[in-house]
C-alpha cells in the first residue's frame, strides 16, 4: 500500500484554475509514491451510495491545466453539516451527515484531504478538522473575498472576462449615447466590480462597501454630458446597496447561500426615470466563472497545488495556503473561517478611482 492516500475536494462554485490545482497536487503526490483521489461532485457523494472517489493518476490529469470548471465536479448542496434531502413527502429537510463523511474518510484509509474552496468550504473545513480530518486548504473564488491572502485563484480570470465584456459594452454605450449598467458578481464584496471597472475605464463603479446615492450618479452623468460625453458606463457589483436601501436578493434555496441579483436592472430603470436618457442593463453572471484560466491563475493554481502536497508531506495540517506578495505562506484555517475580506476603503485602488474622477456613488 502507498505511504499516503490523499483526497482532493472541489467545493462551492467553480472557478478557473481548479483543474490546474488538481493536476499539480496529483503529480506532486504521485511523484512521492502516494495514491491520489478526487472526491466526486463534492462531499455529498461521500455520504451517498455509488462511486465516491475518482482515482487520480497521470492520465486523469493530462491536458487539464487550461480547462475551466473542475474535472471532479462540485456541488452547492454539499455542506455535510447541513445537507438538504427530500423526504418521503417530497419536502426538503436538513441533516447533519458529517459523522457519516468522517466514517467514510476512515473507511477509505485516507490520510489527508486537500480542500479547494472559498469561505463556505473553509468554514466546513474548520469543522471537519475538529472531527479529526487532517486538511490542507487552497483558496479559490472569483470573488477574491477570502481574508489573509492577497489573491484567490479564479479572480484574475474573472477580472479579464469582465473587463473584456465591459469594453465591448462601452462601444455600444457610446454608439447609442446610452447609460449602460453592467452587473458583475462578487457576493458581498466589490473586488471584481472595482478592479474590472477601473481597468475598463467605467465612469461609475458601485460596490457593496460604499452605499450609493442616485443624486451623485446623476450628477456624474450631467457632468459628462457638459463635456460632450453623452454616454455613461456603470459597473455595479451584485451586492451593492443604495444608501438606506436593501440588498437585491433573488432568493434562497434550501441548503444554499442566498442568490444575489437584480441591482443592475434596478439602477438602469431608476436612472432612466431620473435622467430621461435611454438606459440598459447587462448581467455578466456565470460568464465570469467560466473559461480557460489566465496564465496568472494557472501559475498560481499550480503553485498552490504543489505547496498543498508539501504541507501534507510535512504533516503541516489544518492550514490554508495563502499568497503574501510573491511568496506562499500557510496560516491556520481557523483564522479565516467565517470571515470576509472587503475592499479596503483607504486602499490605493479606491483612491485611484477617486483621483481619476470615477464616481463611486457616495
Ligand atoms: O462565489 C462565487 C459566485 O459566483 C458569486 O460571485 C455569486 O454570487 C455566486 O457564486 C453565484 O452562485 P450560484 O452559481 O450558486 O448561482
Three-class SS of residue 222?
helix
Q: Is 190 exposed, middle or buried (0-12, 13-18, 19+ CB in 10 A)?
A: buried
351 domain residue, yes or no: no
The per-residue pLDDT for range 238-274, each reduced to its tens digit, is 999 999 999 999 998 888 889 999 999 999 999 999 9
Percent of the chain exceeding pLDDT 90 equals: 91
Cα separations (Å) of 346 from 195, 303, 342? 15, 30, 11
Tell whether 101 and 140 lie within a shared domain. yes
359 domain residue, yes or no: no
Contact 80, 42 (CB under 8 A): no
- Does residue 358 carry a pLDDT above 80? yes
Tell whether 146 and 27 lie within a shared domain. yes
Tell whether 169 and 282 lie within a shared domain. yes
CA–centroid distance, 1 to ligand 1, in Å, is 40
CA–centroid distance, 50 to ligand 1, in Å, is 28
Number of domains observed in the structure of the chain? 2
Between CA 104 and CA 15 the distance in angstroms is 27
264 domain residue, yes or no: yes
| 60-89 mean pLDDT | 93
Between CA 292 and CA 140 the distance in angstroms is 15
| 89-94 mean pLDDT | 90
Tell whether 148 and 297 lie within a shared domain. yes
Residue to mutate, 16, 143, 207, 264, ligand 1, most ligand atoms under 8 Å from C-beta: 143
Three-class SS of residue 64?
coil
Average pLDDT score, the chain:
96
The per-residue pLDDT for range 117-152, each reduced to its tens digit, is 999 999 999 999 999 999 999 999 999 999 999 999
Domain span at residue 95 reads: 5-153+293-335
pLDDT-wise least confident of 3-17, 80-94, 197-211? 80-94
The per-residue pLDDT for range 188-224, each reduced to its tens digit, is 999 999 999 999 999 999 999 999 999 999 999 999 9
Tell whether 80 and 192 lie within a shared domain. no
Residues with CB under 6 A from ligand 1: 13, 76, 118, 141-143, 185-187, 238, 259-260, 289
12 domain residue, yes or no: yes
CATH code at position 118: 3.40.50.450
Tell whether 102 and 29 lie within a shared domain. yes
CA-wise closest residue to 194 among 89, 321, 305, 343: 343
pLDDT at 48: 86
Nearest residue (by CA) to ligand 1, atom 14, is 13
Tell whether 223 and 300 lie within a shared domain. no
CA-wise closest residue to 210 among 176, 233, 236: 236
The per-residue pLDDT for range 20-38, each reduced to its tens digit, is 999 999 999 999 999 999 9
358 domain residue, yes or no: no
342 domain residue, yes or no: no
Tell whether 73 and 162 lie within a shared domain. no
Three-class SS of residue 120?
helix
75 domain residue, yes or no: yes
Q: Is 276 exposed, middle or buried (0-12, 13-18, 19+ CB in 10 A)?
A: exposed
Between CA 162 and CA 126 the distance in angstroms is 32
Amino acid at each position: 500500500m502507498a505511504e499516503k492516500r490523499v483526497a482532493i475536494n472541489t467545493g462551492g462554485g467553480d472557478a478557473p484554475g481548479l483543474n490546474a490545482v488538481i493536476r499539480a497536487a496529483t503529480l506532486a503526490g504521485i511523484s512521492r509514491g502516494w495514491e491520489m483521489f478526487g472526491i466526486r461532485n463534492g462531499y455529498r457523494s461521500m455520504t451517498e451510495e455509488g462511486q465516491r472517489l475518482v482515482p487520480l493518476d497521470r492520465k486523469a490529469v493530462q491536458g487539464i491545466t487550461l480547462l475551466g470548471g473542475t474535472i471532479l465536479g462540485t456541488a452547492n448542496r454539499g455542506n455535510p453539516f447541513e445537507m438538504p434531502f427530500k423526504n418521503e413527502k417530497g419536502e426538503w429537510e436538513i441533516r447533519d451527515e458529517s459523522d457519516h463523511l468522517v466514517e467514510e474518510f476512515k473507511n477509505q484509509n485516507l490520510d489527508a484531504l486537500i480542500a479547494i474552496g472559498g469561505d463556505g468550504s473553509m468554514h466546513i473545513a474548520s469543522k471537519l478538522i475538529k472531527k479529526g480530518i487532517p486538511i490542507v486548504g487552497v483558496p479559490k473564488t472569483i470573488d477574491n473575498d477570502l481574508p489573509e491572502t492577497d489573491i484567490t485563484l479564479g479572480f484574475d480570470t474573472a477580472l479579464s472576462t469582465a473587463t473584456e465584456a465591459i469594453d465591448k459594452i462601452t462601444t455600444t454605450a457610446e454608439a447609442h449615447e446610452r447609460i449602460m449598467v453592467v452587473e458583475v458578481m462578487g457576493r458581498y464584496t466589490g473586488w471584481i466590480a472595482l478592479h474590472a471597472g477601473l481597468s475598463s475605464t467605467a465612469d461609475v463603479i458601485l460596490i457593496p462597501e460604499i452605499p450609493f446615492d442616485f443624486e451623485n450618479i446623476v450628477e456624474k452623468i450631467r457632468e459628462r454630458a457638459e463635456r460632450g460625453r453623452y454616454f455613461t458606463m456603470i459597473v455595479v457589483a451584485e451586492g451593492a446597496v443604495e444608501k438606506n436601501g436593501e440588498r437585491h436578493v433573488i432568493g434562497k434555496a434550501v441548503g444554499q447561500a442566498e442568490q444575489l441579483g437584480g441591482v443592475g436592472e434596478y439602477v438602469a430603470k431608476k436612472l432612466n426615470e431620473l435622467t430621461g436618457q435611454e438606459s440598459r442593463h447587462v448581467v455578466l453572471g456565470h460568464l465570469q466563472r467560466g473559461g480557460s484560466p489566465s496564465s496568472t491563475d494557472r501559475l498560481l493554481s499550480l503553485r498552490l497545488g504543489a505547496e498543498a502536497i508539501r504541507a501534507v508531506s510535512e504533516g503541516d495540517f489544518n492550514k490554508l495556503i495563502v499568497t503574501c506578495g510573491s511568496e506562499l505562506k500557510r496560516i491556520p484555517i481557523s483564522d479565516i473561517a467565517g470571515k470576509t475580506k472587503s475592499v479596503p476603503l483607504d486602499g490605493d485602488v479606491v483612491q485611484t478611482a477617486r483621483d481619476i474622477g470615477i464616481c463611486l456613488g457616495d
